[in-house]
Structures are given as structure tokens and as C-alpha cells.
Amino acid sequence: MPVLPGAEPYRHEGGEVGVLLCHGFTGSPQSLRPWAEYLAGRGLTVSLPLLPGHGTRWQDMQLTTWHDWYAEVDRELRELTARCERVFVMGLSMGGALTLRLAAKHGDAISGIVLVNPGNKVHGLAAYALPVVRHFVPTTKGIASDIAKAGAQEVGYDRVPLHAAHSLRRLFRTVDGELPQVTQPMVLLHSPQDHVVPPVDSARILARVSSTDVKEILLEQSYHVATLDHDMERIFEESWAFVTRLAPELVAEGVGGVGGAEDTGKGSASGG
């Protein structure tokens, strides 16, 4: 199936500091494209993959599980660690959960993580019905474009495939058990007004990780897809400040060589 316009993966070859960006459930790289381009513009090597089953049609997602989504970001991380001296991982929503699992599994190979409205649990009674209902009802209403900013749109599915939602629930439960293994420096940014992931998810993550270098930031003007919302520049600036604090010498070298770098990946983000 052809990829939806704007949902293409993105890669930028920069300096010795690499950043892996992980998009959310039923979303696409478009929701993180402005963030990726901001970091690339500062000389970083950036990878923003399209997760399997995403960015085409919801029927394709029915054939995938969280193991497929995690395998993709794990592969991209290994490529970055082979290419770069320092690597950071950042994610939105389910991408935040994938980021946490990478952090738990890869340890010191990851220098720091940035989470934006990370998911930790599928809430409500529907979550407990998923194991059975998914065999009779293929989809429910979509969750894309929870954005306060007028005119901003997320490229994502208008339906949530329930087989995939059931797998997402399993991912969250797996990651929740691994949170004490997360020790890296962390910035967690979350929106008090989020209609997809409640603030309690961020609170639980903060309470369970073993990281000691932790910064929590409230995104007062944004909804769930804050990377395309009013607080997007705040997210970009805080993540850049985080990277420069933890890898100052390498970042300075990368910025000095920005001119020769090239992007790969097509399409531009809407709503940015």
C-alpha cells in the first residue's frame, strides 16, 4: 500500500550525536516531522521511522503487533549507535512507551530520553473487553488530531483497529514492568488537557523509573499531539537544551559541520 502523503519516514545525516524519534499509535512520522527537522537543523543525525502497519490504511495495522513496532525502533537504534558516538531517544504517546522499553533494554547505549504525553495504560472498561470484542468488532473511532491549535492536523487513521489496540495494551503492561530498569536522564513533557492519554500515565512513569536526572514540564496550551500544537517550540527547545547539556562537545562539533548534511525522506508535515 502507498504511504499517506506526509507520513513518510525521515532521516538526516548529521554529526556524532544521533536522535531516534518514535511516533504514536495509529499516527505517523508527520506528527514528529517538525521536531525532527528542528534537531536536524542543529547538526544532529536524526532517524524518524514509519512503524509497521502505520501511515497507509488501518487494515494494514490489523496484521501487526507491538513486537513489530518495537522491532523497527530497535533496529533504527542499533543503526544509530553504530553510526554515532552518543544517541538519544524521544517519543510521543505510544512512541514514549517504545522509548522507555528501548531505555530499559539498551542501558548506557542511550544517553537520555525525552517523552511527550507518554502512554502507560489502556484505560476504561473497554480495555478489559478487548480480548473478546476484537474478534467481533474490527475498529472503533480514531484518536488522531487531538490538537488545540486551530487548523493543525495529524496524519493518522480515523479508525482504531482493535486487534492492534489489544496488542498496545500488552505493550503498555510489558513496559510498565520494565520501568524500574530505566536509569537514563529524562525529560517528560505532558499536557494537563489530553483527551487521549490522561496525566496519571505520566505520574506513574515518573514514580516507577529509576532515573535520578529527571525534568517534568507541563504543556499548558496543548492537547495530546503537542508536537504539532501551541507548545511545539517549547518541546523542541527543551529537547535541544537537554542534548546540549549531556553532550556539549559533540554537539558543538556537529553544528560546525551542518552545511554538508543531507535529508532523506519525502513529504512535509501539515499543521506545524
Is 194 one of the annotated active-site residues of the chain? yes
Is 224 one of the annotated active-site residues of the chain? yes
Cβ contact 264:235 at 8 Å = no
Task: Look at residues 86, 108, 123 and name the one whose alpha carbon lies nearest to residue 199.
Answer: 123
Q: Among 54, 111, 194, 230, which one carries the catalytic annotation? A: 194
CA distance linking residue 88 with residue 201, whole number of Å: 22
What contacts 78, CB < 8 A, 6 or more positions away? none
Task: Look at residues 178, 187, 189 and name the one whose alpha carbon lies nearest to residue 223.
Answer: 189
Any idea what the Cα angle at residue 16 is, between residues 41 and 185, rounded to 5°? 90
Q: Among 167, 224, 229, 239, which one carries the catalytic annotation? A: 224
3-state secondary structure of 124: coil
Cβ contact 4:155 at 8 Å = yes
Is 211 one of the annotated active-site residues of the chain? no
> At residue 169, what are phi and psi to the nearest 5 degrees?
-60, -40
Q: Among 31, 93, 191, 222, which one carries the catalytic annotation? A: 93
Residue type, 83: R
CA distance linking residue 261 with residue 263, whole number of Å: 7
Question: Can you tell me which residue has the cell 530505566?
Answer: 182
**Catalytic residue IDs:** 93, 194, 224
